[in-house]
Amino acid sequence: MTIRSLSIAIAQLNPVVGDVDGNLEKARTARGQAAALGADLVVFSELFLSGYPPEDLVLKPAFQEAVRAAAEALAADTGEGGPAVLIGAPWAEAGALHNAALLMAEGAIQAQRFKRLLPNFGVFDELRVFRPGPPLEPIEFGGARLGVMVCEDMWAGGPASELAEAGADFFLVLNGSPFRKTVYAERADAVEDRRREQGKAMLYVNQVGGQDSLTFDGASFAMRSDGTRAAAAPAWREGVFLTRWSRAGGVWEPEAGDVTPAPAGLEAVYAALTLGVRDYVDKNRFPGVVIGLSGGIDSALTAAIAVDALGPDRVRCVMLPSRYTSEESLRDAKACAKKLGVSYETIAIEPAVDAFDRMLKPAFGANDPAPGPDLAAENIQSRIRGVLLMALSNKFGPMVLTTGNKSEMSVGYATLYGDMNGGYNPLKDVYKMEVFALSRWRNGAKPGGGLGPSAEVIPPAIIDKPPSAELRDDQRDDDSLPPYETLDAILDGLIERELSLAEIVAEGHPEETVRRVEHLLYVAEYKRRQAPPGPKVTVRNFDRDRRYPITNGFRDAR
């Protein structure tokens, strides 16, 4: 009998790296849901059983054995009927470790396909741990010849050509594709390249969830051979979604289903930040978070993200005023906490500041400058705040969220062991001007799945006032830095686009300013190496993408 249709379920799920037993149970639950939908096959994402990316954990023999045992147990389940399984897992074969896709049916692993192209750029370093697989061949299943690929195999093109030449009817791609602001355009371009070259339909399955500094948006889809979307799963949401495929005239195509557009722009960035916080806190089993709420925009946006991620009951906000904290900041912080519905308290740092002054006076001696705060005194205030927040974390268990943005972290406008103290930084990859934009966006919209209020959450006074660290009288950020509009544009050239000094000057920026920003960027590397992780949203984040030396004598002389 000629089979003319297949029902294939997308398992768009959130695995936990290293939790092999938990990921196996997730797979079993999803397979049960796929069975209820009438699926013939359920497809999971890249390295699902281990979680993605497992980094060097995957080199541990005991971990490899645990994954193999889980895969064999899942394969055995298929002997009891129900849908077959196509799932990603690390797989040792003939002395080599591979990034594999395993087809399970009738109680056994029926076929294996090993990832051909191992990325070694940006956040990826798979060549460090895996061995490339042999040329790909289709897998016979349900009357179709499935062109199974793993992530990069689709993006680059060669493996798709191998499969097409070997007679694949359509492509199934298991992905671990992390989010960045450019990702939807990049995916669309890669998919269109494969469609134009091969003229075949595709099922693209991506994971969802946060893993350290990476977030995964899901947004899985089925695409027809003409490039149109037949079905698209919601971004940023777990679920099992059924696609139906039929063959006519010898060509397999997905049938029309639900197409959920992925959010774009600020909405997508906010979703990534929220998911990054939620999964980092929950997967590492913290009861909640504690935040130093200063009355400034960075801490206000951080608090809003935390509330949307975790709910107000799991967010504790603390105002830590000094003699330089303005009445305006006290009022604004309190108003922000009230709008968010979070726990809020005040702990004055002045007694500790006075104690440090007394303790250090003999050591500073004749080197103590004229009355008034210098850099050492400013940083002592910040470090006192860090000590207090960490004390609350140690005493009650919540993790400290730091609040510095990418503009500040780029040029070292942050205090090591002070405002950099904490376990996770939601704004680490968000430039200052985008902090303003996200704050305005959040005041006018409630994000999907957000646990915070629908109304305005950040008082407009916080957004409108000039940024200040308030570590001395009448301090403003632009006393020490170029205006953020200028600073962010220069940093975009230096970091995201790797432009030369001359190219950035040609865009209209003063050469002296560009040289100063470049110098600050390089000398702050030692601080960034000690900073907590935070969710990647730009093309080049500081955690995994941009790996510069700390000791670095280079300056662009052009």
Distance between start and end Cα atoms, the chain: 71
H-run or E-run covering 251: strand 251-254
Q: Which two tokens stand for residue 550?
A: 């700390």
Q: Which of 26, 126, 151, 378 is catalytic?
A: 151
**Alpha carbon of residue 479 to chain centroid:** 33
Decide if 399 contacts 286 (C-beta within 8 A).
yes
d(CA 89, CA 100): 5
User: Active site includes 151?
Assistant: yes
* Long-range CB contacts (within 8 A, 24+) of 368-375: 372/472, 373/324, 373/471, 373/472
Give every strand in the sheet of 289-292, ordered side by side. 343-346, 315-319, 289-292, 399-400
User: Active site includes 317?
Assistant: no
b (16+ CB within 10 A) / e for 347-363: bebeebbeebeeeeeee
Phi, psi for residue 109 in degrees, rounded to 5: -80, 110
234 prior amide bond cis, ω within 30: no
Cα maximum dimension of the chain = 96
d(CA 159, CA 264): 30
Residue by residue, DSSP assigns 275-322 as: HHHHHHHHHTT-S-EEEE--SSHHHHHHHHHHHHHH-GGGEEEEE---
d(CA 330, CA 221): 48
Give the DSSP letter of residue 465.
S
b (16+ CB within 10 A) / e for 368-392: eeeeebeeebbbbbbbbbbebbbeb
DSSP E strands: which ranges in 19-118? 41-43, 84-93, 96-105, 108-114
Question: Which of 27, 133, 160, 162 is CA-nearest to residue 84?
Answer: 27
Give the DSSP letter of residue 367.
G
Q: Which of 115, 406, 527, 536 is catalytic?
A: 115
User: Active site includes 432?
Assistant: no
Q: Which two tokens stand for residue 497?
A: 């686009």
Do β-strands 239-248 and 251-254 pair in parallel, antiparallel, or remain unpaired? antiparallel
Q: SS3 of 166, please?
A: coil
Decide if 75 contacts 108 (C-beta within 8 A).
yes
Active site residues: 46, 115, 151
